[in-house]
Amino acid sequence: MPTININRQAFEKFVGKKLAADKLKDRISMLGTDLESVSDDEIIVEIFPNRPDMLSVQGFARAFSSFIGAKTGLAQYKVESSREKVIIDNSVENVRPYTSCAIVKNLHFDDEKIKEVIDIQEKLHITYGRNRRKVAIGIYPFEKIKMPIRFMAKKPGEIKFHPLESDKEMNAYEILEKHPAGKAYGHLLNGLEKFPIFIDANDEILSMPPIINSHKTGKINHDTKEIFIECSGFDFNVLNKCLNMIVTALSDIGGKIYSMELMYGKNKQTTPNLEAEEMKVNIPYINRLLGLNLNETEIKKLFERMGYGYKNKNVLIPSYRADILHQADLAEDIAIAYGYENFMALIPNVATIAEEDKFEIFKNKISDLLTGLGFMEMSTYALSNKEAQCKKMNAEIPLIELANSISSDYDVLRAWTLPSLMEILSNNKHHEYPQKIFAIGKAFKKNEAFDTNIEENENLAVAISSENVDYTRIRQILDYMFMSLGLKYEIIEAEHGSFIEGRAARAMLKGKKIAYLGEINPETLTQWSLEMPVAAFELNLSRLFEAME
């Protein structure tokens, strides 16, 4: 999750209150942000994905100041009309249909401020903008643009400009192929016949979203006093929220916000719109959910602690908040303002009947039987690899593969559990013999009767390794188990690559195959670099349990 680095002095100035390090740590954690570190000069905070408005130092400081009671209530932002227009051409409709724009003036950029603005832009891109898929943000020196601006789509061959971080003019294809930003985000334009561009009245291309700005008209520097900001994407509301997060942060550092007129054909929209959204507050719902008994005055005060306004049973939601979908979201902010630490820990007086899963009980009983025979239980992974499951076992078993495992040692779902035990024996060669081990674990196979096309069984594997182990010794274990379960089973001869020919058998219960047992083939032993004989069985516990029911 993204973190923001905050200059502590500037932060304290903005917050309007100095806090001791301990108190600061505590309050940051209790606001719903995760403190990474705090020093005399710097605070590093992790921002959760529901609060992209706190990804700017200003946004975070604003929320914090209000939370600790320094500057509470709805922050007011003034928007003046610039009367400037952005004309949205029909050609973007199936390409990147929306944009939301603003102008901010009275800015005084130095290196640090430029970095800060780029930081906000990048962090919003990654999180709220979902790596520019949902929102792409462009920031331009307003002075270099000849108004009005047009947002349109053109054939890539016709788009030609000098992109940022490049030394020459390129066409759109060249940008996608050669420019770092083109390589990183080019896939977002896959399959499009036309690419979107912002272009000014001099036919100067400002940018090609969501890829890159122009070097000539899309780079802010120390001389920049006024900027043009656009967010482009597929959902007008999302773009507006994103724009609001940026302009309010810029206003907090002294910028003056100007709105623009967006001409969607005959439909005119004016952005940014920083009017608070009103939502009726369901006080009984909030009280019930939190177990509190707050009256309206208290609720109002708590809302103000979280940067909201409150008027006539309605909460005024700041225009930069993108996470309020339901009363439940309001309830959480009331809980945060009330203080999670102030909630009592209560156990309600409600009678419910406990019940352990029957199969889980059964598995425990089987484990207890085996430990009674001196076996050690192993705890194994459900993931394995083809080599362990098939090749080393000298057996061909169909496996289900993972699509994207980053480890080649664990890239299939295990089809049986015995290979896990063989690996354990192989890793424990230097320890004392006899070794008697077992494991119960999930085994997977394809079966279209299931919603996922995968059947899952719990398999029990048991292995004994010692100088004098043989078929009898392992058969005795199975006999004892079935006797203890009050079941009669049948043994038939079997062939299985992992076991010695003539010393392998299959156990049948009520006509169903339930287990393989026998002495492990010396070839298999050698594959696992084992020098001690092993006898083993693999039993489908799920099937056994079903048969017993």
Measured CA to CA, the distance from residue 106 to residue 250 in angstroms comes to 10
Closest distance of CB 527 from other proteins, Å: 19
Distance, C-alpha 91 to centroid of its chain: 34
The helix/strand/coil state of 86 is: strand
Measured CA to CA, the distance from residue 363 to residue 359 in angstroms comes to 6
Torsion of CA 293, 298, 301, 302, to 10 degrees: -10
CA distances from 394 to 419, 421, 426, 526 (A): 11, 15, 16, 11
Closest distance of CB 288 from other proteins, Å: 7
Pairing of strands 195-199, 170-171: unpaired
What are the structure tokens assigned to 16, written together? 């309007």
Helix-helix angle 57-67:296-305, to 10 degrees:
150
Our CB check for other proteins shows the closer of 290 and 487 to be 290
Measured CA to CA, the distance from residue 222 to residue 224 in angstroms comes to 6
Burial class (CB in 10 A: 0-12, 13-18, 19+), 229: buried
Measured CA to CA, the distance from residue 478 to residue 475 in angstroms comes to 5
Measured CA to CA, the distance from residue 225 to residue 104 in angstroms comes to 9
Please list the residues that pair with 300 across neighbouring strands. Answer: none
Looking at residue 173, its amino acid is: Y
